[in-house]
C-alpha cells in the first residue's frame, strides 16, 4: 500500500486531518494536500467536516456561555454596583492622564 492509498483511507475512513496523516505516514502536508485536492470526493468531505465543526463550535460556545456568564451577573446589589463604578472610574482616569 503506497502513501496515497494510506492517506486516502486515513482521511475518508478514519476522518483524520491532513496534519495527523502527515505525521503518521511521514509525507509532507503539502504533498498530501495536493493529492487529496485532486480527488473528486475531497470537497464534499471537506464541506461536511466544516459543517460538523461549526455545529461543535456553536454547541461549545453555548455551553461555555451558560456555565460562565449566568453566574457572573446573578447577584447585583449596591456593593457590586459601587465596586464596578470604582473600577470604571480608575480605568477612565488612567486613560485620561496618559
Question: Mind giving me the DSSP string for 34-79?
Answer: HHHHHSTTHHHHHHHHHHHHHHHHHHHHHHHHHHHHHHHTS---HH
Question: What pLDDT does 81 receive?
Answer: 87
CA dist 37 → 13, 32, 60, 67, 98 (Å): 16, 8, 30, 40, 53
What pLDDT does residue 20 have? 96
Give the model's pLDDT for residue 70.
65
**Hunting for cell 470604571 — which residue is that?**
88
pLDDT at 95 over 80: no
Q: Is the pLDDT of residue 26 over 90?
A: yes
24 touches 17 (CB < 8 A): no
pLDDT of the residue at 67: 82
Domain residue limits, the chain: 1-39
pLDDT in tens, 41-94: 999 999 999 999 999 999 999 998 888 776 666 677 888 889 989 999 988 887
- Find the radius of gyration of the CA atoms of the chain: 25
Amino acid at each position: 500500500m503506497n502513501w496515497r492509498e494510506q492517506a486516502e483511507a486515513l482521511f475518508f475512513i478514519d476522518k483524520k486531518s491532513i496534519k495527523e496523516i502527515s505525521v503518521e505516514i511521514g509525507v509532507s502536508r503539502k504533498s498530501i494536500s495536493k493529492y487529496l485536492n485532486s480527488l473528486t470526493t475531497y470537497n464534499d468531505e471537506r464541506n461536511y467536516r466544516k459543517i460538523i465543526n461549526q455545529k461543535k463550535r456553536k454547541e461549545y460556545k453555548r455551553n461555555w456561555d451558560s456555565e460562565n456568564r449566568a453566574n457572573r451577573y446573578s447577584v447585583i446589589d449596591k456593593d457590586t454596583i459601587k465596586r464596578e463604578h470604582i473600577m470604571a472610574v480608575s480605568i477612565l482616569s488612567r486613560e485620561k492622564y496618559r
